[in-house]
Structure 1
Amino acid sequence: MNNNFPRFYTLNDSGLGCLLTFLLIGLLLGSVGLGWIVNGVLILFFILLLTPIIGWAVFRWWLKRNLVEDQCPVCGYEFTGFNNTECRCPNCGEVLKVEGNHFKTLTPPGTIDVEAVEVSAQALDE
């Protein structure tokens, strides 16, 4: 090969012979009356091509529907969890339950959960 001569036109025919072979086999089978084999192979090819695309779209839809991003009710740390599951806060270690797209503290049955409210002290003059 002469490396000093510039190439103006190059032909890369890798795979072209394989494609032509498949095309000729398909035409031969179609002319003999076995076109259903060609149709079956093409349908299988398109199913194998479309399955990952549809699967990825379904996975993203499921993830968008079940992934919850909220703050811990104990320490206020924001993190993500899956809906209708139990998890621990990575900051304070509190066991939380994810319900209705919010984190809630997990309390044993019979426990009354209260929230403290700060009341300012005022002197009464009488």
Structure 2
Amino acid sequence: MDPNQFRVIQWRGGGLAVWLTLLLVLLFLSSVSPEWLINAILLLIGVSILLPVVGFFGLRWWLQRSLVQGNCPVCDYPLNSIKQLQVRCPNCGEILQVQEGRYVRPVPPGTVDVQVIDAIDVTVEQLSEDDF
């Protein structure tokens, strides 16, 4: 550090100036009408208590209506997501969307989606003569 350089002392209140200004305004208004100050403080205390409670129950209500739980149709991995959103399965990477409360693979119109079965799991008794 250069000793010949002019030093500027800066004080950073970190938002303290806003609170000091608010306090000065409240003190000014209390000199005009002290009942208003008491009512404002009680209102702020009431709002600061009720707002988180109402927000918590409102968020729970919204989640119960919007959250969809199900399994991936490709790999049967359990998934949770919000309605109207596309989600990627973290297990197989398939892009899925919610339709009628179930996860489905979005396919372009005209695409035929088939379900594959393992030939190892199928025995002769399970095959009927209609399959040949």
Report the TM range for the smaller structure's normalisation. 0.5 to 0.7
Residue 104 (1) aligns with residue 104 (2): yes
| 1:76 alignment partner in structure 2 | 76
Deviation at 1:51, TM superposition (A): 0.8
Distance 1:94 1:34 in 2: 64
Deviations 1:62-112 (A, max 9, x none): 122212110111121212111111111122211111122210111123313
User: Is the 1:86–1:98 Cα contact (8 Å) retained in structure 2?
Assistant: yes
Q: Which amino acid aligns with 2:128?
A: A
Residue 64 (1) aligns with residue 64 (2): yes
Aligned partner of 1:120 among 113, 121, 127: 127
Aligned length: 93
Distance 1:78 1:110 in 2: 29
Structure 2, unaligned runs of 5 or more: 1-29
| 1:85 alignment partner in structure 2 | 85
Structure 1, unaligned runs of 5 or more: 1-28
TM-score normalised by the chain length of structure 1:
0.60
* Residues 1-80 of structure 1 mapped to structure 2, 5 A cutoff: 34-80=34-80
TM-score normalised by the chain length of structure 2:
0.58
Q: Higher RCO, 1 or 2 (CA under 8 Å, sep at least 6)?
A: 1
SS for the counterpart of 2:97 is strand
SS for the counterpart of 1:96 is strand
Across the aligned residues of Structure 1 and Structure 2, the Cα RMSD in angstroms comes to 2.8
SS for the counterpart of 2:63 is helix
Distance 2:57 2:77 in 1: 31
Cα pair distance change 1:33/1:90, threshold 3 Å = closer
Q: Which amino acid aligns with 1:121?
A: S
User: Is the 1:68–1:83 Cα contact (8 Å) retained in structure 2?
Assistant: yes
Distance 2:82 2:97 in 1: 9
